[in-house]
Amino acid sequence: LTIRFVLAMRMSLMIQSVRLLRCTASCFLHGVRCASTKTATARLQVNDPQFLTKEQVASFHREGFLVLPNFTSSEGCTEMENACQDVIQKYNPDKDYTTTFSTTEQKANDYFLSSGDKVRYFFEEGAVDEKGHIIVDVGRAFNKIGHALHWQNPTFNKFTFNDTIKKIAHDVGLVSPVIPQSMFIFKQPGIGGEVVPHQDSTFLYTDPLSCVGFWTPLEDCTLENGCLQAIPGSHLSGLHNNRRMIRSNTSTEGVEFTNPPQEYDNDDDFVPLVIPKGSLVLIHGEVTQCLYSSISHLHIDVHQVSHACYLSPPALFQVVHKSSPNKSGQSRHAYVFHMVEGNAEYDNLNWLQTDTSFPPL
């Protein structure tokens, strides 16, 4: 175990050295900080697990994601579904904008940019016409509701801040985590939009990097309805292209990306997570992820957890993930929230800003 630990840390430092040379020039051109120098020397946080096994912790840091089946009961899923329906009933078209949300052509307005400590409604592009009129049943028009359900709604607050979540955060190496955002994602049948390959720290950047996603499907995830997909190990090479989405005073869109996206041309690299409702997926903030609905020859068996040494702080890595459009007749509802390390520096150029501090876990 000790030899594997030392070799893994040497490889991590080599990766960070390459990353430093690659990112410095790009950061200078865009006037933003690069986490490479500070991340490369970040303190390793290794905890004795309180909920996860050491094998699960090792798998998370090695693969960049971890699936915990049967984490939430069917009753718990129904409770969150009902809470979301209550939020939908409060939607007022006279007060709330019919703002669409897309990860393929990111646009922002004040309604979006000021949603960090509020509950706001965002629609699928196929649900709203050019004049902003909803053209489908309103219950099937939403892309997501966010970004402060964990602050403002008692049901989602109870799930987000429960003791088991706190133990898991401890187990993956977070010391003083705070929760900047939460979302209810609908993935509507037929019109549920694509989520392009990305790393979460592109949007929630801290120095050193520290973002961890907690993703809970409230309905079964299948290939047809756009299940989550991830590239195992993609977090080990840092924040790809040092790509960040930041607020912009010059762009007409209100936000801009510091660099073009990394290309992920080989769909075979992505592993679709075909998992039942009530599972919990931990997503390493630097890992590439996606939602998948067309590749059928790959799957992950959530009951097979491979063994590896217990290593690597979340500050060093980020996994890539995505999802394809939902072309099926079945929705794929999910509740997701993100943690960052409270001791890390949350960048003031991040799109999500609030007047008050993020709630601690």
3-state secondary structure 156-194: HHHHHCCHHHHHHHHHCCCCCEEEEEEEEECCCCCCECC
- H or E element in which residue 111 lies: helix 110-113
pLDDT in tens, 29-78: 444 544 443 433 333 455 688 999 999 999 999 999 999 999 999 999 99
Backbone angles phi, psi at 113, to 5 degrees: -70, -25
Which one has a higher pLDDT value, 104 or 168? 168
Q: How confident is the model at residue 161 (pLDDT cuts 50, 70, 90)?
A: very high
What's the pLDDT at 356?
94
Tell me, what's the pLDDT at 42? 36
Confidence grade of residue 11 (pLDDT, cut at 50, 70, 90): low
Spatial separation of the C-alpha atoms in residues 14 and 21, rounded to whole Å: 11
H/E run at residue 65: strand 65-68
Which one is predicted more confidently, 105 or 35?
105
The pLDDT, as a whole number, for residue 94 is 75
CB 300 within 8 A of CB 271: yes
The answer to whether the beta carbons of residues 37 and 20 sit under 8 Å apart is yes
Confidence of residue 102 (pLDDT cuts 50, 70, 90): low
Confidence of residue 306 (pLDDT cuts 50, 70, 90): very low
- Render pLDDT for 190-240 as a digit per residue (tens, 0 to 9): 888 889 999 999 999 999 999 999 999 999 999 999 999 999 999 988 899
pLDDT at 128: 84
Q: What number of other Cβ atoms are within 10 A of residue 175's Cβ? A: 15
